[in-house]
Structure 1
Amino acid sequence: MPEVVPTERELQALKVLWQLGQATVREICDAIGEQGDRLAYTTVLSLLQVMEQKGLVGHTAAGKVYTYFPRVRRESTFRRLAKGFLETVFDGAMEEYVMRALESRPLSANEISRLEQMIAAAKTQTRGSPPEPNANEPRARRNRKQGDKP
């Protein structure tokens, strides 16, 4: 079964569930409303039903009250979203992707430290691996044959 990537609206509901652990339709509706996005109860209910069909959430029932919980982990979901964004927007060009992200806002000292740790770990993992040819160019450009026009 292919991994499901949530829509923007589904991601809103998942973020609430990741934060709370589990929640009723009303609680999810209220939490999304606190973010400034007012949705009708029936809209959130329909959203959660679709998400359940996709395998993103599950539910337990106590009488007529359904309590929903996430079936996907936050980290793996964000990883899939980031990978899709990298491939779709930046044609797989990791350097450009990271540079644009770093330029988007100032970093905290903690974020810089964490990035340095991640770079050090990546260097350790790639030692001994052959470098990717023309790694600074987007994949589409690298895959073009000599003499092909852009």
Structure 2
Amino acid sequence: MEIPDPHQLSRRERQIMDLFFQHGELSAQAVQEQLPDAPGYATVRSLLRILEEKGHLSHSKSGRQFIYRPVAGVEKVKHQRLNHLLRTFFGGSISEAVAAFIQDPDNDLRPEELEELDKIIREARDK
């Protein structure tokens, strides 16, 4: 299944999708309560309808409420976004991306994180 392009979303639509990836299913009211500088309820409902039309959300009815959920799981979206980032900024090179992250002085990797990375690399070599 092809995931709709997240880059075709407005800033507010991305904020809403981030909420769904954090929480799973949400009602329009729950979305409105969790959005920073939330727009009115009618605007939130319109945004949810638009996201559904774009193929990012689906809904079911629970009593009088619509409950929305992302069409694609967070793992699938995470991989799609990571692949886009790799192609866009690193020419598809995982090693360049990892090196850029590790060598950035603002990223203070803890020893256990470095050990985990080392373990992942060793496992990849053994495949």
Q: Which runs of 5+ in 2 are unaligned?
A: none
Offset of residue 12 of structure 1: 2.5
Aligned to 1:20: 23
8 A contact 2:3–2:72 mirrored in 1: no
Q: Give the distance between the partners of 2:112 and 2:41, measured in 1 at CA.
A: 39
**Within 2, Cα distance between the matches of 1:4 and 1:75?**
14
Post-superposition shift, 1:63?
5.1
Q: Do the aligned residues in 2 keep the contact of 1:58 with 1:69 (CA within 8 Å)?
A: yes
1:5–1:77: 8 Å Cα contact kept in structure 2?
A: no
Q: Report the RMSD for the aligned CA atoms in angstroms.
A: 2.4
For this pair of structures, how many residues does the alignment match?
Answer: 122
Distance 1:114 1:12 in 2: 31
Q: Normalising by structure 1, what TM-score? A: 0.66
Alignment match, 2:117:
115
Matched to 2:25, the amino acid is: Q
Identity across aligned pairs (percent)? 27
In our comparison, the structure showing a higher alpha carbon Rg is 1
Is 2:92 the partner of 1:92? yes
Q: 2:73 and 2:112 mapped to 1: Cα distance? A: 24
Shift of 1:64: 4.3
The TM-score, its normalising length taken from structure 2, stands at: 0.75
One-letter code aligned to 1:120: R
Following superposition, the deviation at residue 114 of structure 1 comes to: 2.8
Q: CA 1:13/1:114 → structure 2, altered by over 3 Å: closer, same or farther?
A: farther
After superposition, the C-alpha distances for 1:107-131 in whole angstroms (9 at most, x for unaligned) are: 2344333322221222123xxxxxx
Structure 1: which 4+ aligned runs deviate by more than 4 Å? none
Q: Unaligned stretches of 5+ in structure 1?
A: 126-150
Q: Is the 8 A contact 2:60 2:66 kept in 1?
A: yes
Q: Which has the higher helix share?
A: 2
